[in-house]
């Protein structure tokens, strides 16, 4: 007999786990034991609930009470007050502007979100097949297998308008149709979970939070195109996602939802997990296929498209995790329902991983066409502190940045492309006015140079050239014509590279030049970084009037470039300064300022050096 | 599992296990668990509700708890909240009274007026 009257859902997404969610779970077990109340509470580990910044978070049903920033020390109070006496702990609830948000559904973070792919994420126990079934799971698969012909499934997908959520936005039904029409003795379906963009964690969260959904989506696709074997290509950096998918496959097999003649139909299906070794390029479908085959993960030219000649030469479809995540719901609620959300050309919703200088970092799902303003300021809660919004980078190293003037742009595949950015997989990095855009472009270029597989020369050599120019600009050696050279290189690399990595890698540089050209010009002409991020283009200065002559700065300087005395006060010898910032940190009276621009002494010193080099070369 | 009907059976059972997380709830029972309520045996009252409901397999009834209601002289106090009907408050509850309320009010829909101390909001 069940006496359980409370469901305690603890978010065990990666964010909350690193903030200590597992320790809190252990503590709940201990405290409930002490109170002899273990038979009254279900403790359930869920996937990511979304608002990672509030982590560790938990939701307590039946009331749906939402607690944030919970620590193991709070557990005693939650049990004795809330569980035993029914008095929810107000101080752990979200409080903003003197308002308390007790229930999860009232929390502003969730207000503009519509959850489709994330429907169950943070609501069910991802390791329980029963809970997935309770939310309507595998109903779509059952209906599809017993009542629909493969072509009808593809037609339904066409009506839904679902486009690939991995970034390209290619209509999913076209891929399926191509493989369906292609006669072969063996066809394959692959789930691309090689999510590698810096700051992106959508696919991981869905796999960790609702693995059966992805499996069901894959099986519906497999039935439509006639594939009997599927592969999950998941990067090795996602151990929990790998564990959960393997567990889901085992559970589905045991229940008879996978294997031979599923739902008494002619359809048989099996799936396996393959782990990627962490190469960014393996997110490209041909490289991914070669990696599964056991070859080096290098892309090959298309055509032949994988739909014609894919894995081991057989027709293959590669779909992204989130794409699969939408499919069960499309078949349960109908293509019309799905197409009614979002914009005309980009129906449905999109999951974004919101990071950077925004208050509510986390995992969000909003309808396509939601404006950046709503995404960043309503869902994201605006900027941290008193900082101003400067730019947002969408699509990671393949995407581009957008600025204040684009805040009212609706987010969909076309609108972003027009403005020099792209949807990408859904990473959204928000930046405030303290970020140097040249430096941001350099960061992403550095990433792409590292991750280039080296097969084609535009990407291997061209990106390296771009990086060297950016390094030159940020270290004060920029020349007239560098900006034009970056644009020329970027445009040719985009046109000439073999795969998506090279084709999109120049985007961050090109888009920052497009919207922040003045910053590049200031770096090159004035040798000045207004945000004081580029160390060569800023300097530290001691204000003599404020300096008390305590000598702390001089004693903490690792290169001994600060001299002076109590009477004369202290000065920094700019030529030797390595800009470590120690003096700035230790000064007890804050007499040291960060100034933009290269110090005149350094400029003169560099000029002398280059003169000497020229003289030497003349000899 | 071979048919959609099999799946439906599993789903219904699984939904029953997840009913605390919302869904199909006809009647909500809210037990007052303030200090005075607990002193007068509110925990016993809640346990009896849970046992009776489980024994009768009433899948659309939810038991929750709440804080002090301000009716200390009539503790333990229990609210029965039914969709679209005025709230019914029972006072001076004990396990035997709970059993009667479950049979009469929850199963047969007849309010046990002897125990009622208030109705409406």
Instruction: Enumerate the residues of chain A whose CB falls inside 8 A of the CB of residue B52.
Output: none
Which of B20, B35, B38 is nearest residue A62 as measured by Cβ atoms? B20
Q: Of A102-116, A350-364, B59-73, give the lowest mean pLDDT range.
A: B59-73
Name the residue of chain B whose CA is nearest to A137's CA: B11
Peptide bond into A591 cis (omega under 30): no
pLDDT of residue B83: 75
pLDDT (mean) for A111-133: 90
B11–A87 CB contact, under 8 Å: no
pLDDT tens, A53-69? 898 999 998 888 899 99
Residues of B in contact with A124 (CB under 8 A): 18
Look at A264 and B2 and tell me if their CB atoms are within 8 Å. Answer: yes
Q: What is the pLDDT of residues A432-459, one digit of tens each?
A: 999 999 999 999 999 999 999 999 999 9
DSSP string, A549-596: ---HHHHH-TT--EEEETTTEEEE-TTT-----HHHHH-TT--EEEEE
Q: Which long-range contacts (CB under 8 A, 24 or more apart) does A447-450 make?
A: A447/A198, A447/A280, A447/A397, A448/A397, A448/A501, A448/A505
Contact (Cβ atoms closer than 8 angstroms) between residue B78 and residue B31: yes
Identify the three-state secondary structure at position A313. helix
Least confident residue range of A109-118, A369-378, A566-575, B67-76: B67-76
Mean local confidence (pLDDT), A314-338: 94
Write down the pLDDT at residue A484.
96
Compute the average pLDDT of residues A26-49: 89
Whether the bond into A21 is cis, omega within 30 of 0: no
In chain B, residues with a C-beta closer than 8 Å to the C-beta of A1 are: 51, 54-55
Closest C-alpha to A571, from A557, A589, A585, A586: A557
Question: Least CB-CB distance to B21: which of A61, A86, A136?
Answer: A61
A573: tokens are 């010898």
Quote the CA–CA distance of B42 and B71 in Å, as a whole number.
Answer: 13
CB contacts under 8 A, A 28-57 vs B, are: 42
**DSSP label at residue A103:** B
The CATH topology of domain B23-119 is Glutaredoxin (3.40.30)
Instruction: Select the residue of B2, B43, B64 nearest A62 (Cβ to Cβ).
Output: B64
pLDDT at residue A221 in the model: 95
Q: How far is A366 from chain B (nearest CA, A)?
A: 23
Tokens of residue A429, six digits:
């990095």
Cα of B13 to nearest chain A Cα, Å: 8
User: CB-based contact (8 Å) between B45 and chain A?
Assistant: no
Q: For B22, which residue in chain A has the nearest alpha carbon? A: A62
DSSP 3-state assignment of A304?
Answer: coil
Six-digit token string for A145: 């297998």
Residue spans of the domains in chain A: they are 6-107, 129-339, 349-432, 437-525, 535-603
Tokens of A602: 């350094």
A347 band by pLDDT with thresholds 50, 70 and 90: very high
For residues A308 and A178, is the Cβ–Cβ distance under 8 A? yes
pLDDT value of position B17: 80
User: Is some CB atom of chain A closer than 8 A to the CB atom of B107?
Assistant: no
Residue A1 pLDDT > 70: no
CB atoms within 10 A of CB A267: 19
Whether residue A225 contacts residue A176, with contact meaning beta carbons closer than 8 Å, is answered with: yes
Residues of B in contact with A130 (CB under 8 A): 10, 13-14, 17
Does the structure show a pLDDT above 50 at A520? Answer: yes
Instruction: Identify all chain B residues contacting A134, using CB atoms and an 8 Å cutoff.
Output: 11, 14-15, 17-18
Question: Which chain B residues contact residue A253 at CB under 8 A?
Answer: none
Q: Give the minimum alpha-carbon distance from A218 to chain B in angstroms, rounded to a whole number.
A: 19
Structure tokens at A285: 């479908």
Residue A47 per-residue DSSP state: S
Residues of B in Cβ contact (< 8 Å) with A146: 3-4
Q: A444 phi and psi, to 5 degrees?
A: -70, -35
With a pLDDT cut of 70, the percent of chain A lying above it is: 100
Q: What is the 3-state secondary structure (H, E, C) of A211-261?
A: HHHHHHHHHHHHHHHCCCEEEEEEECCCHHHHHHHHHHHHHHHHHCCCECC
Assigned architecture for domain A6-107: 3-Layer(aba) Sandwich (3.40)
Which CATH number is A349-432 given?
3.10.20.600
State whether the Cα torsion B103-B105-B110-B114 is positive or negative: positive
**Out of A5, A130, A143, closest to residue B17 by CB:** A130
- Per-residue model confidence (pLDDT) at position B121: 63
Indicate the DSSP class of residue A342: B
Chain B residues close to A87, C-beta within 8 Å: 33-34, 67
Q: Predicted confidence band at A27 (pLDDT cuts at 50, 70, 90)?
A: very high
Query: Number of A:B CB contacts under 8 A?
Result: 92
Read off φ and ψ for residue B96, nearest 5 degrees.
-65, -45
* CA atoms lying within 13 Å on the CB side of residue A136: 13
Residue A98 burial (C-beta neighbours within 10 Å; 0-12, 13-18, 19+)? exposed
Q: Are A162 and A342 in contact (CB under 8 A)?
A: no
The 10s digit of each residue's pLDDT in A413-429 is 888 888 888 888 888 99
Contact status of B10 with chain A (Cβ, < 8 Å): yes
Q: What is the DSSP string of A498-533?
A: SSHHHHHTTHHHHHHHHHHHHHHHHHHHS---TTS-
Cβ of A256 within 8 Å of Cβ of B10? The answer is no
The continuous run of DSSP H or E covering A9 comes out as strand A6-11
Chain A closest CA to B68's CA: distance in Å? 9
Contact B20 A4 (CB under 8 A): yes
What is the pLDDT, as a whole number, of residue B100?
86
B49, B29 contact by CB (below 8 A):
yes
- B-proximal residues of A, 67-86, CB under 8 Å: 84-86
Q: Which of A202, A429, A441 is nearest to A321 (CA)?
A: A202
Six-digit token pair at A596?
């933009």
Q: By the 8 A CB rule, do A569 and A549 touch?
A: yes
CB atoms within 10 A of CB A102: 16
φ and ψ at A164, to 5 degrees?
Answer: -55, 125
Dist CA A358 CA A383 (whole Å): 4
More confident residue, B63 or A495: A495
Give the HSE-up count for residue A543: Cα atoms under 13 Å, Cβ half-sphere: 12
The pLDDT of residue A168: 79
C-alpha–C-alpha distance, residues A444 and B88, integer Å: 63
| Protein fold of A129-339 | Rossmann fold (3.40.50)
User: Of A542, A517, A332, A349, whose CA–CA distance to A420 is shortest?
Assistant: A517
* Predicted confidence (pLDDT) per residue in A245-256, tens digit: 999 999 999 999
Cα distance from B30 to chain A (closest Cα, Å)? 10
Q: Average per-residue pLDDT in chain A?
A: 91
DSSP 8-state class, residue A305: P
pTM attached to this predicted model:
0.87
Cα separation, B30 vs B24, whole angstroms: 17
CA distances (Å), origin A290, targets A276, A303, A310, A519:
11, 15, 9, 42
Q: Note the Cα A295 to chain centre separation in Å.
A: 28
In sequence order, what DSSP letters do the residues of A149-169 get, joined into one string?
-HHHHHHHHHHHT-B-TTTT-
Q: Give the residue from A122, A126, A116 showing the smallest Cα distance to A245.
A: A126
- Tell me, what's the pLDDT at A179? 94
Q: What is the pLDDT of residues A562-600, one digit of tens each?
A: 999 999 999 999 999 999 999 999 999 999 999 999 999
CATH 3.30.70.20 applies to domain A535-603: yes
Q: What is the pLDDT of residue A163?
A: 93
ipTM of the complex: 0.78
Q: Which CATH architecture has domain A437-525?
A: Up-down Bundle (1.20)
pLDDT in tens, chain B (121 residues): 778 888 898 888 888 788 777 766 778 888 888 778 888 888 888 888 888 888 887 777 888 887 777 777 788 888 888 877 888 888 888 888 888 888 888 888 888 888 888 877 6
């Amino acid at each position: 007999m069940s006496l359980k009257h409370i469901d305690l859902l603890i978010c065990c997404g990666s964010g909350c786990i690193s903030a200590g969610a597992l320790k809190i779970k252990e503590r709940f077990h201990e405290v409930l034991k002490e109170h002899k109340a273990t038979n009254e509470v279900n403790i359930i580990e869920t996937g990511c609930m979304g608002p990672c910044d509030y982590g560790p978070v938990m939701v307590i049903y039946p009331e749906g009470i939402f607690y944030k920033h919970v620590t193991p020390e709070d557990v005693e109070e939650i049990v004795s007050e809330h569980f035993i006496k029914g008095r929810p702990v107000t101080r752990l609830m979200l409080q903003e502007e003197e308002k308390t948000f007790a229930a999860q559904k009232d929390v502003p973070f969730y207000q503009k979100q519509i959850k489709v792919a994330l429907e169950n994420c943070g609501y069910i126990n991802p390791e329980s097949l029963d809970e997935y079934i309770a939310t309507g799971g595998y109903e779509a698969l059952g209906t599809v297998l017993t009542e629909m012909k493969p072509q009808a499934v593809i037609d339904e997908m066409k009506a839904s308008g679902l486009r690939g959520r991995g970034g390209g936005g290619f209509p999913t039904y076209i891929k399926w149709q191509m493989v369906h029409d292609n006669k072969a003795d063996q066809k394959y379906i692959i789930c691309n979970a090689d999510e590698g963009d810096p700051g992106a964690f959508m696919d991981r969260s869905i796999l960790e939070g609702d693995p059966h959904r992805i499996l069901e989506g894959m099986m519906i696709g497999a039935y439509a195109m006639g594939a009997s074997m599927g592969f999950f290509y998941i990067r090795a950096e996602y151990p929990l996602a790998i564990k959960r998918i393997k567990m889901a496959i085992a559970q589905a097999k045991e229940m008879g939802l996978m294997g031979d003649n599923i739902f008494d139909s002619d359809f048989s299906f099996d799936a396996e997990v393959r782990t990627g070794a962490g190469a960014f390029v393996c997110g490209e479908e041909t490289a991914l296929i070669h990696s599964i085959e056991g070859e080096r993960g290098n892309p090959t030219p298309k055509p032949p498209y994988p739909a014609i000649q894919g894995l081991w030469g057989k027709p293959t479809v590669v779909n992204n995790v989130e794409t699969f995540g939408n499919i069960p719901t499309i078949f349960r609620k109908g293509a019309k329902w799905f197409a009614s959300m979002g914009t005309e050309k980009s129906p449905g919703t999109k999951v974004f991983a919101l990071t950077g200088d925004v208050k509510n970092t986390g995992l969000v799902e909003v309808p396509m066409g939601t404006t950046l303003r709503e995404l960043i300021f309503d869902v994201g809660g605006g900027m941290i502190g008193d900082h101003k919004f400067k730019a947002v980078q969408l699509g990671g190293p393949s995407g581009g940045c957008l600025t204040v003037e684009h805040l009212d742009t609706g987010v969909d595949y076309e609108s972003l492309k027009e403005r020099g950015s792209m949807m990408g997989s859904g990473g959204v990095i928000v930046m405030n006015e303290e970020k140097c855009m040249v430096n941001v472009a350099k960061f992403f270029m550095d990433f792409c140079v590292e991750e280039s597989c080296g097969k084609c020369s535009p990407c291997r050599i061209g990106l390296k050239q771009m990086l060297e120019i950016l390094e030159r600009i940020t270290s004060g050696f920029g020349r007239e014509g560098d900006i034009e050279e970056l644009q020329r290189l970027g445009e040719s690399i985009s046109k000439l590279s073999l795969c998506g990595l090279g084709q999109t890698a120049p985007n961050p540089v090109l888009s920052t030049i497009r919207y922040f050209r003045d910053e590049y010009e200031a770096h090159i002409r004035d040798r000045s970084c207004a945000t004081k991020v580029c160390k060569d283009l800023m300097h530290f200065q001691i204000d003599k009037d404020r300096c008390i002559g305590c000598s702390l700065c001089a004693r903490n300087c690792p290169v001994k470039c600060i001299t002076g005395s109590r009477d004369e006060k202290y000065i920094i010898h700019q030529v030797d300064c390595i800009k470590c910032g120690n003096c700035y940190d230790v000064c007890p009276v804050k007499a040291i300022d960060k100034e933009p621009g290269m110090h005149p002494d350094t400029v003169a010193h560099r000029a002398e050096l280059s003169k000497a080099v020229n003289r030497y070369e003349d000899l | 599992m071979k048919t959609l009907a099999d799946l439906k059976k599993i789903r219904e059972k699984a939904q029953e296990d997840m009913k605390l997380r919302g869904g199909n709830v006809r009647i909500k029972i809210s037990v007052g668990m303030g200090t005075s309520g607990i002193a007068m045996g509110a925990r016993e009252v809640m346990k009896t509700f849970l046992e009776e409901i489980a024994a009768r397999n009433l899948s659309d009834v939810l038991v929750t708890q709440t804080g002090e209601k301000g009716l200390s002289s009539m503790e333990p106090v229990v609210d029965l909240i039914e969709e679209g009907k005025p709230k019914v408050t029972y006072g001076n509850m004990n396990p035997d009274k709970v059993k009667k309320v479950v049979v009469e009010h929850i199963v047969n829909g007849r309010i046990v007026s002897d125990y009622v101390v208030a109705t409406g909001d």
